[in-house]
Amino acid sequence: MDEKRIEIKIDANKLKGFLVFRPVSGNNQPVTSDEIIDALRLPGIKFGIREDKIQEFVLNPIAAVPFQVVVGTPPQHGKDAEILYNFDFEMLQTYSSGKILKSQRGIYRTFLVKKGQLIARKNPATDGSAGKDIFATEIPPKPGKDKSLIAQFGRNIAVDENGTKAYATAEGILKYEGDKIHVDEVLVFPGDLDVDVGTIEFEGSVIVEGMVIPGTLIKARDNIQIAQVVEGSTLIAGHDIEIAAGVKGRGKAYICAGRDIKARFVENAELIAGRDVLVDSAIMNSNIKAKRNVQVLGQPGELIGGFVSASQKVIANRIGSDMNITTTIEVGLDPDLRQRMHLINAQISLDRENLSKLTKIVRTLREMKEKMGDDFPKDKLELLVKSINSINTLNNQIPQLADEYQELQDRMNLSMTGSNVIARQILHAGVEVTMRDRKFYASRDFEKVVLVLEEGEIRMGGYRGDDFEKDD
């Protein structure tokens, strides 16, 4: 029996087959492709035989060196699911930890999101495709590992029914907490806030854990909370503004809240509140407007200088100062109602003036038309028609405005009910109080007093807690 010159070696994964040529003494015949194929069939190799590699070896046989002539098809394993974020995830982690440089604080803008905005999407895991070894046996692939998109997100983020897309369900800022990403409706700034951060406009609430440096603008849909002092800046909130320290306005601070403004003290600033302005220690030389009350009830509880307007009540421990600094107070006058009444009154005056002018124009044009008959110019006729239409419009508009003015006047009168100015300790000389069209000027100091409007006159009473006694 002839000794075999071709030995076949197979790798452990059964994906590769090698031939090893071992010359036999006395057999000098060249190696043939049939000889190699016969050798491959002995172990049962059926798949991946490379004819080109066999021919290559036949043309250039090398003894005792494994030469690959068979290759199977390895399986293509599935890919794991992949989460693709619409932001820099690592930067979000850093930002959320608070460990950012001062120069990076403006990075928060990249994490602001709108309701319905796509936050992330998932590329699902794949199954992969099967392979085949050199014995024609199928090799199953390993499927990719799935990853839950829902598990990645928390508050105010929803995942679609397919589990492949995540959307914001509220406006706010992305935050990474507790191994989840949330849309937070509170924007928190550690430390002081300065112009390097720039204008802040946020659809939620803003918290500053330090002070607010001059020139800063903060606008929030909901609330604004400042842990320290606000200096010469603009704060606008749809709901409440709370300043734990106080306001050093420098004549440049503008603070406006849809509801209440609370502060330790206020100096040289303008405040506008949809409800109350509540200050602890002092309001000094400021312009204050509140749709309800202005209160300064802490210690010393002073209201000194400037202008204060409230539709219901102004109350402080001390109003004015012993240096007779002019302090102007208005109560019972809703600023919005008053402004609307001024506008209506001005419009009525303008309409009546225009009505008078148009009436004269119409009279003149009609006299011309009677004299000229068919020769009356076409442009004059158009002007006559236009003027008559304008007169009709004004005749309808003026009574409507007058009715609205009267309605606002009635509301203004009603708002006067219960309105008062209270000095719980002292009302200093130099304080001027206006109630509707009546004025009171304090020519001397008064202790523990209440000012109210009764029967068209400002009357003074003694303050005794929640009750007071009127002076005749």
The half-sphere exposure of 471 on its side-chain side, counting CA atoms within 13 A, is 11
pLDDT digits (tens, 9 = 90+) for 428-457: 999 999 987 789 999 999 999 999 988 778
Cα–Cα distance for residue pair 453/462, rounded to 1 Å = 14
Query: For 410-447, b where at least 16 C-beta lie within 10 A, e where not — what string?
Result: eebeebbeebbbbbbebbbbbbebbbbeeebebeebbe
Tell me whether the omega of the peptide bond preceding residue 300 falls within 30 degrees of 0, making it cis: yes
pLDDT digits (tens, 9 = 90+) for 408-428: 877 766 665 668 999 999 999
pLDDT of residue 446: 93
| Segments in the chain below pLDDT 70 | 1-2, 101-103, 105, 334-335, 412-418, 466-472
Domain boundaries, the chain: 6-71, 82-130+141-184, 188-335+418-470, 336-416
pLDDT of residue 472: 41
What's the burial of 463, exposed, middle or buried (CB within 10 Å: 0-12/13-18/19+)? buried
**169 Cβ partners below 8 Å, 6+ apart?**
115, 116, 156, 157, 158, 183
pLDDT of residue 466: 58
- Residue 244: both structure tokens together: 């734990």
**Fold classification of 82-130+141-184 (topology level):** OB fold (Dihydrolipoamide Acetyltransferase, E2P) (2.40.50)
pLDDT of residue 393: 92
Whole-prediction pTM = 0.66
By C-alpha distance, which of 191, 239, 236 is closest to 212? 191
